[in-house]
Amino acid sequence: MISQTAEYALRAVVYLADHADRPHTAREIAKASHVPLGYLSKVLQELVRAGLVASQRGLHGGFRLARSPAKLTVWDVIQAVDPIRRIRTCPLGLKAHGANLCPMHHRLDQAMAMVEEAFRSSTVAELLAEPTSSKPLCPFPHTKSCDHRPVPA
């Protein structure tokens, strides 16, 4: 449903939201989010350009979220790296259809509208706060969190 690039961007953003105590290097984020470093570096730069992530150079530099996780939506992240495009005209280029979508493409666009609304209404903070035994980026099932903090009983 979403591209690998969007998935990797979401993993990085979730990691940064869950570890907001300090900036993190691309290497740290890549290791924790199970994303190849070279690919992640490009994704992080796209997130920086979009204003969702801030980068800081230097000895204590790295990446951190530029927005509060409570104000950052899944939609924001996806649109920053690989926008979901709605169907406005016939994808087949049929002139007879023009802007009047056939029933199939109309239904596909309606489904995309529902996905868009779900992504727009889901914040990164909600992803982290949702009660579940499976935490983002951690192996499942697990007995302790992936960053070695004790898991609440």
Q: What is the pLDDT of residue 49?
A: 97
Model pLDDT for residues 31-84, shown as the tens digit of each residue? 999 999 999 999 999 999 999 999 999 888 899 999 999 999 999 999 999 999
Residue 41 CA to residue 53 CA, distance in Å, equals 12
User: 122, 135, 13: which is closest to 65 by C-alpha?
Assistant: 13
Return the higher-pLDDT residue of 135 and 147: 135
Q: Assign 146 a pLDDT band (cuts: 50, 70, 90).
A: low
Query: Could you give the C-alpha distances from 46 to 2, 76, 120, 129, 148, in angstroms and in order?
Result: 16, 12, 19, 26, 30
Query: Could you give the C-alpha distances from 7 to 88, 93, 96, in angstroms and in order?
Result: 25, 30, 37
Q: What is the pLDDT of residue 102?
A: 85
> SS3 for 50?
coil
The residue ranges of every structural domain in the chain are 4-83+124-129
Return the higher-pLDDT residue of 139 and 4: 4
Report CA 104 to chain centroid distance, whole Å: 29
Model pLDDT for residues 90-136, shown as the tens digit of each residue? 777 777 776 788 888 888 889 999 999 999 999 999 998 887 766 66
Q: What is the pLDDT of residue 150?
A: 38
Per CATH, domain 4-83+124-129 is 1.10.10.10: yes
Q: What is the pLDDT of residue 106?
A: 85
Q: Is the pLDDT of residue 12 over 50?
A: yes
- Number of Cβ within 10 Å of residue 84's Cβ equals 15
Q: Is the pTM of this model over 0.75?
A: yes
